[in-house]
Amino acid sequence: MNTSLVLLECIALACERDGRTLFEKLDLSISAGNVVQIEGPNGCGKTTFLRALTTLLPDYEGKIQWRGESIRRVRQAYLSNLLFIGHLPGVKNTLTPRENLAFLSSLHHQVGLSEIDAALAQVGLYGYEDMPGHQLSAGQLRRIALARLYLSRAQIWVLDEPYTAIDKQGVANLEALFVEHANQGGCVIMTSHQSPSIKQLQQVILQDYSPIHKDLKTKAGLG
Amino acid sequence: MNKLKTDIGVKLSEQKYNVDETSLTQGFLAVLKRDVVTAFRQRGDIINPVVFFLMVVTMMPLGISPESKALSFLAPGLLWVIALLATLLSLDSLFRSDYEDGSLEQLILSPQSLYFMSIGKVLSHWLTTGLPLTFVAPLLGVLLALPAEGYLPLLLSLLLGTITLSFVGAIGAALTVSLRKGGLLISLIIMPLYVPVLIFGASCVRMAVEGFSIGGPLAVLGAFCAAAIVLAPLAIAGALRMSVEA
């Protein structure tokens, strides 16, 4: 696999919200095989940055390119190569893990029942597959969303705080999965306040642009 | 779009990346199935509009007059107005839970067509509110002494009318989903659009009762219905994007 292939490129990205600069002059290039952690204090625009990457936030300046094409132009193809798991897991608590996962993955491609059960087993929900969501814990509900990673064929994973409410063993499993995905030519972009123990991890630090630090120049770049 | 797809097809063979198969029905069926299952797990959502319909209709004879002559004159209009309000009440929750649990984001980020997924959502809303209302209406016609000739036209006009109400109302629901108190705003946005449906629906029943042919108003209701099914999802999909991307 060609791991130097540039998948995503942000060029002079800037975003302003309610008159407050969240980030500006952000240049970033993410290649196949990268695991990128976006870091920074609360409210510095990590989620906003991820939402811009997923096309959920159209209101930014600069360019985001996927394989050299603006993501606005090739939106449909880009979306089929993108898996986004946000703060909100998109899981219904009236449905069972099996039904939830079947629905979420069918938004991308058809998945068989045996694959769904295998993915649920991977995140430790085997045995709970027919239990309605309101009987599951917050961590278990998040695990349903994370089970999508095992079913995904998407090359770009954008994950907002994937470790929230996940136990130590779960975090270790996720890290192993990220490494495997990167080695197969994918890339992972995530935010987290923990420091993952992944060898090829690259960190991007978003500067805090709160009014006090306004004179600071952006230092965002690959760490 | 087709040109885009062939462009992508060429690059796909060069660079080996995956493009999901998008079919028109896949997203539609997935959303429809999930929403109908969810609605049946939370039966309150289905029963609420029907109970509202039942309660208001049973109060009419008490409030107006138990005389069947007075009631039968008002019945066509009353049944239609109450069915319309019952639909309006159920609209606020249409996209609310999807917005709050994040599945709306996932729908928008799906490569499947949002147009067809919106149709799936609205259709499941209609199956769980409009359709039960349509079938309960003739029973409630008895309570309001609706003359015998009115029953079939009532059923037919509500069948076509409630589909229109669901599709048009969903535009309002999609526009207001990101607002915390969208309920009143939906009514203000949607009410003017509901007026023509109400006029033709109620007059369809009244004309049948008075012995005229109902072909005309029924045809107009059918036209409204067809136009709503085709055009409303465009507005719904756009409004949903706007609400989530804000």
Give residue-wise pLDDT tens across range A94-126.
999 999 999 999 888 888 899 999 999 999 998
Quote the minimal CA–CA distance from B30 to chain A in Å.
6
Tell me the per-residue pLDDT of A56-99, one tens digit each, with 9 for 90 and over.
Answer: 988 888 989 998 889 888 888 899 899 999 988 889 989 999 99
Q: What is the pLDDT of residue B242?
A: 93
Q: Is A184 on the interface with B (CB under 8 A)?
A: no
ipTM of predicted complex: 0.86
Report B:9-38 residues touching A (Cβ under 8 A).
11, 15, 17-22, 26-27, 30, 33-34, 37-38
Q: Are B30 and A88 inside 8 Å of each other by CB?
A: no
A–B interface: beta-carbon pairs under 8 A = 100
Q: Are B30 and A103 inside 8 Å of each other by CB?
A: yes
Q: What is the pLDDT of residue A217?
A: 40
Query: In the structure encoding, which two tokens stand for residue A72, read together?
Result: 């606005």
By three-state DSSP, how is residue B110 classified? coil
Q: What is the pLDDT of residue B18?
A: 60
Beta strand residue intervals within A68-121, DSSP E: 69-70, 82-85
Q: Are A87 and B101 inside 8 Å of each other by CB?
A: no
pLDDT at residue A5 tops 90: no
Q: Is B3 on the interface with A (CB under 8 A)?
A: no
* pTM of the predicted model as reported, rounded to 2 decimal places: 0.88
Residue A210's pLDDT band (cuts 50, 70, 90): low
Contacts of B47 (CB under 8 A, 6+ apart): none
Single-letter residue type at A56: L
Q: Is A108 on the interface with B (CB under 8 A)?
A: yes
Beta strand residue intervals within A32-186, DSSP E: 35-39, 61-66, 69-70, 82-85, 156-160
Q: What is the pLDDT along chain B (246 residues), one digit of tens a residue?
A: 444 444 444 343 344 556 666 677 888 999 999 999 999 998 888 889 999 999 999 999 999 888 989 999 999 999 999 999 999 989 988 999 999 999 999 999 998 899 999 999 999 999 999 999 999 999 999 999 999 999 999 999 999 999 999 999 999 999 999 988 777 899 999 999 999 999 999 999 999 999 999 999 999 999 999 999 999 999 999 999 999 986
B17-40 per-residue burial string, b: 16 or more CB within 10 A, e: under 16: bebbebeeebbbebbbbbbbbbbe
Report the DSSP beta bridge partners of residue B222: none
Tell me the per-residue pLDDT of B72-102, one tens digit each, with 9 for 90 and over.
Answer: 999 999 999 999 999 998 998 899 999 999 9
Residue A199's pLDDT band (cuts 50, 70, 90): confident
Q: Is A57 on the interface with B (CB under 8 A)?
A: yes
Closest CA to B98 of A109, A116, A178, A100: A100
Q: Is A94 on the interface with B (CB under 8 A)?
A: yes
Quote the minimal CA–CA distance from B219 to chain A in Å.
37
Least confident of A21-25, A185-189, B51-55: A21-25
| CA–CA dist A1, A65 (Å, integer) | 21
Q: What is the pLDDT of residue B1?
A: 40
Quote the minimal CA–CA distance from A109 to chain B in Å.
6
Q: Is B108 on the interface with A (CB under 8 A)?
A: yes
Among all residues of chain A, which has the CA nearest to that of B24? Answer: A107
Q: Is A198 on the interface with B (CB under 8 A)?
A: no
Q: Are B30 and A86 inside 8 Å of each other by CB?
A: no
Among all residues of chain A, which has the CA nearest to that of B23? Answer: A109
Q: Is B109 on the interface with A (CB under 8 A)?
A: yes
Tell me the per-residue pLDDT of A27-67, one tens digit each, with 9 for 90 and over.
Answer: 889 988 889 999 888 888 888 899 999 989 888 889 899 98
Q: Are B19 and A81 inside 8 Å of each other by CB?
A: yes
Q: What is the pLDDT of residue B19?
A: 63
Quote the minimal CA–CA distance from A116 to chain B in Å.
15
Q: What is the pLDDT of residue A194?
A: 82
Q: Are A92 and B101 inside 8 Å of each other by CB?
A: yes
Q: What is the pLDDT of residue A19?
A: 82
Among all residues of chain B, which has the CA nearest to that of A104? Answer: B106
For testing the chain A interface, which of B6, B29, B34 should be mutated: the one with the most A CBs within 10 Å?
B34
Nearest to A76 among B4, B26, B41 (CB): B4
Contacts of A211 (CB under 8 A, 6+ apart): A20
* Percent of chain A's residues with pLDDT above 90: 36
Q: Is B178 on the interface with A (CB under 8 A)?
A: no
pLDDT at residue A221 tops 70: no
CA distances from B48 to A155, B86, B89, B90 (A): 44, 8, 9, 8
Q: What is the pLDDT of residue B44?
A: 82
Nearest to B30 among A81, A91, A106 (CB): A106
